[in-house]
Chain A
Amino acid sequence: MATLTQEFTKGLWKEIPPFRLVLGICAALAVTKSMLDGFGMGVALIFVLVCSNVIISMLRNVIPKKVRLACYIVVIATFVVIVELITQAYVYSLYEALGIFIPLIVVNCIILGRAEAFASKKPVLRSLLDGLGIGVGYMLALVVLGGFREVLGRGTLLAGSQYVVHLFGPAFKPFAFMVEAPGAFICLGLMLGIMNILGD
């Protein structure tokens, strides 16, 4: 059986969701227009994943097998709505940038996947670490993707915050397509390739 540290660290490299498991791609492609948006989506997902993993693990002996998916979805949806309300109330700019992708966390296959494959079978502490690890891995992946696309597509880093850095001079003509949909696919493809070369 894996040690507690391994439960956490596997999400960071061995099972990093978008690059290894190739899960949660829809949101990963759509929101990584800038590093900060990727980071915000990552934080939202960490919150939902950790909370739902803990609750589902706590209830794993109570929930009858036949209605388990309905129960999981109710729990997940609750936390997603909490995230939605809180971002709307306290970080409105992020709420606008992420738009429809916050409610869509409900159907993010990473979360239901972890609930079904992990939290429903393992004790609470392990589920918490698993959720945290996978969530942080997802966030890191989004930050890398978002950063890469932002640098090439806009020539900036951390746009949208007060620490925005302009990397190149005014003569720099950004590759605008990098912040559009095709850029997302190209970047993700490159990342998958690199991860496969690097191996475990």
Chain B
Amino acid sequence: MKEYIKMIVVLSVISAVCGFGLAGIRSLTKERIEEQKLLYVEGPVVKKILAGSTNDLIKDRKEIVINKTKHIVFIGKKNGKPWALAYEAEGTGFGGEMSVMIGVDLINDTLTGIGVTSNKETPGVGSRATEDTFTNEFKNKDLNAVFKIKPDGGVIDAVTGATIASRGVCGAVQKGVSMFKEIKKQAVKQ
């Protein structure tokens, strides 16, 4: 009996100490990790789809709350005036959740471009729907266009062998476009 109590106590104490230690380190590094993610994951995509902006895109970002979910909006400015917004929307591909950054031109109401920031697609198969050759199709498309693949009645050519991933990207773009009005209202007025 005594042995059992010792086993339980030792293992619990070790786990508790480790757990608290990790929680501490996590809260110490949390801010820095978020910064790094902005810099290395979202940063390059945002810079690509808002090319031509003259401001610091990472610095000029805003947090917006729509239906209690937080969205980070990057604001592209030319000569101090906002001309385009970029923000993330989620879709579902073959492997699971994917995040797509979409850029919207405020003046012409068109897409400036999109880029996939995270995905779980099969490398070499579904992942081809996350590459530039596919995502470039969305460039300069009007916001009212039907962002679906052609067999579903839309305007986008799906990647052969990556239909579901292509659908996932389209779904994310559609979702993003539907949020645009609300995001624009909050991002530009402030």
Contact = CB atoms under 8 A, between A and B. Distances in A.
A78 interface: yes
A93 B11 contact: no
B136 interface: no
Interface residues of B, number: 19
Interface centre among A59, A63, A78 (most CB of B within 10 A): A78
Interface in A58-76: 59, 62-64, 66-67, 70-71, 74-75
A71 B40 contact: no
Interface string B1-42: 001001100110011001001100110010011001101100
Interface residues of A, number: 22
Nearest to B11: A67
A96 B14 contact: no
A81 B20 CA distance: 13
A86 interface: yes
Contacts of B6: 64
A81 B28 CA distance: 13
Contacts of B33: 85, 88-89
Interface string A71-99: 10011011001100110111011001000
Contacts of A81: 22, 25
Contacts of A77: 18
Contacts of B14: 59, 63, 71, 74-75
A21 to B, nearest CB: 27
B17 to A, nearest CB: 9
